[in-house]
Structure 1
């Protein structure tokens, strides 16, 4: 990996001038493969999925100079070569603030071209305009809440050995949920808060061990997408489910939230983008 594309070379943790005229060069791609190498992932991936980005601070000017606003949803395939560092994404979106555009089609054309180039694969983008803001629902991920368990935690590192399953019993299908996911930014160490949903078919996973494992991310430094792929791979290797999907909804920072989903089975549709209360 080139040092110019590593996280410490990104705008994270550095003073930044906010450009208010359109500038796609602000986007900072980071190759996914470096962190996937740490997980032993090469060649064909054992999962597919998507990263759902929601951008709440998107504004531009119409041709008469009047500000316009919208909420953008960006769907990024998990097999894209790159992620985009989130502060650079924010700076890029802010570069539209004083940019005159002929309408939402012109905005979408620029967003699709620039973000597809940055992620290294085509992305899907939809805009929600103010007249449809009231249609945006708030809801919570479903599943059996792990947080009800009264466990003692003394270590705050993700320990895969905590993941255990009843391999000598009949397989089950269940959905488990925790709102206690917290990790830290890989560069700045700032906290990232989220909820995580795990759906699987296979040997029943010990719930106390799984909750302990998830809480272990509390002092772990990785980007959102990398944490979800680590959770997926640790469960897959330790518990050996036949089917597995991991979905995390992270709270926003800088007007952006990132919601990675990884699965090894098809549900016929992507996960819901319903906004959680904390988002």
Structure 2
């Protein structure tokens, strides 16, 4: 991958395993949108970014070089060798196809509190509805930031304090029965009873136990938070699509030990390919 600073921002040429459409439709993030053909806009860590595909494999990140390296390089996990991970599936016919179809997927390194609340919202839902609920939550309870270039501003993700102190507003965001879970989780984080930064430093098992002890957080939500918010890449969330894949191609049994250290990356290839095949494939 080559990185070049230009007047408009930073150009990435030939980045391995990087496809914005695949990343933002892989079920791991819900605050990115394709605002026009081959142009995406999103907010992460209170920062707005616009990315444009310039040609077949060059992307313009509309930010300074300093911001790219201090935030976005880590956020998009550019340090990790995803090509090596894809080679590791050799001999598994389903995964060999999955890593081709989802060739540009990366695991985003996202804010753990945002991931906790987002995946609580995700229970028994779907990607479009999750995006809608999260955006409403941000609009009603997040701070508004004026765009410094005079364009439309944007909303930050609500703080633990904002969510802990406004249960009525949360209930008006269309999250249904999950409102109680959101308030409880926010209060645990606000008081320090749940230290998400600390959970990044402990074992996956210890972090999992802490998350699953929360009211309304089950195994799937806990594994999503581990994977997308705490960078425990052995988190392996099992939702409807993963269950369909495991039942059809692995008789319900999938030995993840072969992929120790990056099980969650394999899960993302499975999830993305499964959704691409569609429900009728699994009937």
Higher percent of residues as helix: 2
Same fold flag (TM > 0.5): no
Higher percent of residues as strand: 1
TM-score range, shorter chain: under 0.3
Compute the TM-score of the two structures, normalised by the length of structure 1: 0.28
Compute the TM-score of the two structures, normalised by the length of structure 2: 0.27
